[in-house]
Amino acid sequence: MQANFISDPIVESFLDELWSTEGLSDNTLSAYRSDLLHFDTYIQKKGLVLLAVTQANVRAYLEHRFEQGFANSSSARLVSSLKRFYGFLRINNRINIDPMEMLQAPKLTRKLPNSLSEDDVSSLLAEPNVDDAIECRDKAMLELLYATGLRVTELVSLTLEEISLNQGLVRIVGKGGKERIVPIGEYAMAEIESYLCHGRHRLLKNQPSDVLFPSKRAKQMTRQTFWHRIKHYAIRAGILSPLSPHTLRHAFATHLLNHGGDLRVVQLLLGHSDLSTTQIYTHVAKARLSELHKMHHPRG
């Protein structure tokens, strides 16, 4: 079933179109393919094919997912995938009626991202032992992550030519191949300079590499490996707050706003194409302000 679906020329031409026009990552394309695979599996059991689906069929599938306990966020992504797919088919005259027209995605309750307090971040950043080559590298990575709000994937894929310590800037190629320039900050610059002088060559052991933060095998580190490193230091620091792969990115944005940062500047630094994506952080900042008001204001 899966092999037949993946080789479906209609689906593959749709994915090729997304890849060529939007430069989407393999992970994003895989998510589209997975959504369409599961939908196709469902409708085939009903004796249907992708080109003959009605809005009633889509609604029945959404109800089926609801009964199976799928989260609204998952079904919302599915609806988005189907809208893109059937919009593509309509534009290319493969269907006459778009079954997704006027169909709304399930409403989402937007969760506030997990973040760390400034004290927790300070404790985390103080944990690595810079006399050890691996921990010297980790210290520089953590400082850079908190100073810039990079995605972990962006951090581990950085090359030497993408960072300028003379200018205090790092050049990021983010989602969809979009490029942005982000200032580094003095603390991160100092740790990166120290790492380049005392740690990186010990990791490489004379092996050539343009990766800024190589693994102990002189290769590009995986995001999963670095995430394990973060959790390792969090345990050592006694941090009990819930962590996610984007915890320091969230902390960067939240703390910047708490200290008066402009929302549009934070949007540019994070590489969000839509301001509404960044606005979630204003809720985090407001929650903190409300907390402080209650604690310190005489009529709080």
SS3 of the chain: helix, strand, coil, percent, to 5:
60, 5, 35
Catalytic residue among 137, 151, 200, 229: 151
CA atoms within 13 A on the CB side of 33: 22
**Beta strand pairing status for 163-164 and 179-183?**
unpaired
Cα-flanking dihedrals φ and ψ of residue 101, to 5°?
-60, 130
Catalytic residue, chosen from 33, 65, 139, 272, is 272
Tokens representing residue 77 in the block = 């992504």
Of 137, 249, 250, 255, catalytic: 249
Catalytic, 151? Answer yes
Catalytic: 255? Answer: no
Among residues 210, 207, 200, the alpha carbon closest in space to that of 160 is found at: 210
Q: What is the DSSP string of 216-261?
A: TTSSBPPHHHHHHHHHHHHHHHT--S---TTHHHHHHHHHHHHTT-
Spatial separation of the C-alpha atoms in residues 287 and 111, rounded to whole Å? 13
Cβ-count burial of 121 within 10 angstroms (0-12 exposed, 13-18 middle, 19+ buried)?
Answer: buried
**Active-site residue flag, 216:** no
Task: Return the SS3 of 169.
Answer: strand
Q: Of 171, 175, 216, 232, which one is the catalytic site residue? A: 175
- The answer to whether 77 is a known catalytic residue is no
Catalytic-residue membership of 198: no
DSSP classification of residue 112: P
Please give the helix or strand (H or E) that residue 16 lies within, else none: helix 9-22
Length of the chain: 300
Q: Which residue has the tokens 């910047």?
A: 256
Spot the catalytic one: 33, 137, 246, 255. Answer: 246
Active-site residue flag, 38: no
- Measured in whole angstroms, how far is the alpha carbon of residue 145 from the centre of its chain? 13
What is the Rg, in whole angstroms, of the alpha carbon atoms belonging to the chain? 23
Active site members: 151, 175, 246, 249, 272, 281
